[in-house]
Structure 1
């Protein structure tokens, strides 16, 4: 028996959300690339101080063939505070390249252990607007039993990764066409060198510094390749709700990136960094998030990144006069649009193929 992770999405602490499960019911559809007869689910209550009670958790490909997910043989169960726990192995006849439907019934309305996506490519909620944030709870990973091992790619970064407008279509392409499994380890608002520290209501959800949480990702997911995209928030946040004293030097960011590469080497993992994309014109908490000093730091970081092996120069693709090109800009001058993300996804795939990464 080989246990293979077929879907993984980073959860974080949304302590400002008070009614994430207002309906006391959640319907999800999560893409599953592999056929299997056995499946299990990672239940996540990592950031809550009270148990996550699951009244029922049902999975199905068609409404006529629903299967209950159990924990310790029970269809109704609790995940204790500050823990994650795997369900029992569930018998299922799941074909490849299928969206698995998941219904979660829970009496708990206020839940802080939450995932976020914008893209509909890998995970679908009851909201399908292409640019609207979708929050979901309960399940943060899926594993199946397979007959062979599969290569794994981790997408590590901030909201540009977490939202999925480039990472989700790229992940789906890699899974369907190259049989490479993926995991999304992006956290919106995350910084490389500092944990969340802002007057923003979202500050707690920004998570611990990317430099330290990178270790958890390497140890737990054990990827063959890490596609790394982080650093823009280290420049964007200071002065816009975060102390300006936390604005790093280009040398600090570059040193951290090289240390992450060294960590990957110890795990026999290939580190694929990407250049930092621009944020000129962004407004953060009603304050301009960018200025010439930040832009010069970004450019200095990118000059050094371009000297690294396996680097993917995303900034040159999406930039024009130090701004995001309109075809990539969702409107806030930082994040990718749905269509722009798909262009980025295809570009990264082409670069990975050209560099003979798989």
Structure 2
């Protein structure tokens, strides 16, 4: 049998969030694209300084058929600080393209190691409002046993990727129609060239520079395909809580992306960059995040990106000059709306087919 990752979502350090687990109980439903009879969960406490205590963890397809998840044979256990662990393998009869329910009980009220989603396509939380961020903890990945290998695709980027409004519906399409398993390695606020460095209360959650964390993703996940969408925060953040001196040159951004492409080549991984979408009109920390200088940099970077193989020109699809078209704009002039994200997902899938990547 072959171990296959069927769901993976990047966690980061939300050190400003308190009482994320106020009730002591978290219910998640996570889409599983493949049928299986064995499953295990990735237990994540990477950024906290105290153990994550789990008093009970169960999974089920229906209420009458629950399975207890154990770690080293114990149904009540701790995940020590700064660690990620895999649970024991659990026997379960799981049908393809169904949501796996997960109930996690923990006495820890404040948990900083968390994931974020807005889309409900792959992850259901207690609150399913399609317009607001939902935070979840404890479970950052799912693996199953299969009898054949599957190609793996990684979405790598910032909040546009992390929120899921384009990446989640695209993931469903790739998994259901092309048998390609996907993982979301987006981090909201993440920059390509610099780690989080801002007066924003969210600064720590912005994570290490994408340029360095890309190596961790390649080594640990080893994707066959990477869809890369990063760079907008390198332009947006400087001058709005981040030092303006950290505004990069177009040459620096392009050089970094070319290096990432070369790293993919060493892994025999197909690297698919996407052009940087616009952000004119955005308010970041109450300050205008965009300027003529930043727009000129975006255009210069995109011209360079358009010379790369496998490039997907997302900017032309969603842009009205320096702004997002209304049909793509969630209202903050940076992020995609739910409907706009679905249009983007369909467009990317068409491009992947046209380029004969899938």
TM range (shorter): over 0.9
1:69 alignment partner in structure 2 = 69
Report the alpha carbon displacement of residue 225 of structure 1 after superposing the two structures with TM.
0.4
Q: Which residue of 1 aligns with 2:242?
A: 242
Query: What is the CA deviation profile of residues 294-330 of structure 1, one whole-angstrom value per residue up to 9, with x for unaligned ones?
Result: 0000000000000000000000000012210000000
TM-score normalized by the length of structure 1: 1.00
Counterparts in 2 of 1:128-143, with a 5 A limit? 128-143=128-143
TM superposition shift of 1:63: 0.5
User: Where does 1:156-235 land on structure 2 (aligned, <5 Å)?
Assistant: 156-235=156-235
Residue 322 of structure 2 aligns with which residue? Answer: 322
- 1:155 maps to 2:188: no
- CA deviation digits over 1:141-174, x for unaligned, max 9? 0000000000011000000000000000000111
Structure 2 portions without partners, runs of 5+: none
Name structure 1 gaps, 5 residues minimum. none
**Number of the residue aligned with 2:262:** 262
In the TM superposition, what is the alpha-carbon distance from 1:188 to its structure 2 partner? 0.0
Q: Secondary structure at the match of 2:47?
A: coil
Structure 1 residues 1-358: aligned runs within 5 Å: 1-358=1-358
Runs of 4+ in 1 over 4 A off after TM superposition: none
TM-score by length of 2: 1.00
- 2:293 is paired with a residue whose SS is helix
SS in 1 for 2:5: strand
For 2:278 and 2:321, the matched residues in 1 are separated by 10
* Counterpart secondary structure, 2:171: helix
Alpha-carbon separation, structure 1, partners of 2:281 and 2:24: 40
Q: What is the root-mean-square deviation in Å for CA atoms of aligned residues? A: 0.4
User: 1:18 Cα shift?
Assistant: 1.0
Aligned partner of residue 335 in structure 2, secondary structure? coil
Please list the CA deviations of residues 37-85 of structure 1 after superposition, one character each: whole Å capped at 9, or x if unmatched: 1000000000000000000000001011111000001110000000000
Deviations, residues 263-312 of structure 1 (Å, cap 9, x unaligned): 00001000000000000000011100000000000000000000000000
Alpha-carbon distance between aligned partners in 2 of 1:176 and 1:123, rounded to the nearest angstrom: 16
| Count of aligned pairs | 358
Question: Counterpart of 2:129 in 1: which secondary structure?
Answer: coil
Cα distance, 1:140 vs structure 2: 0.3
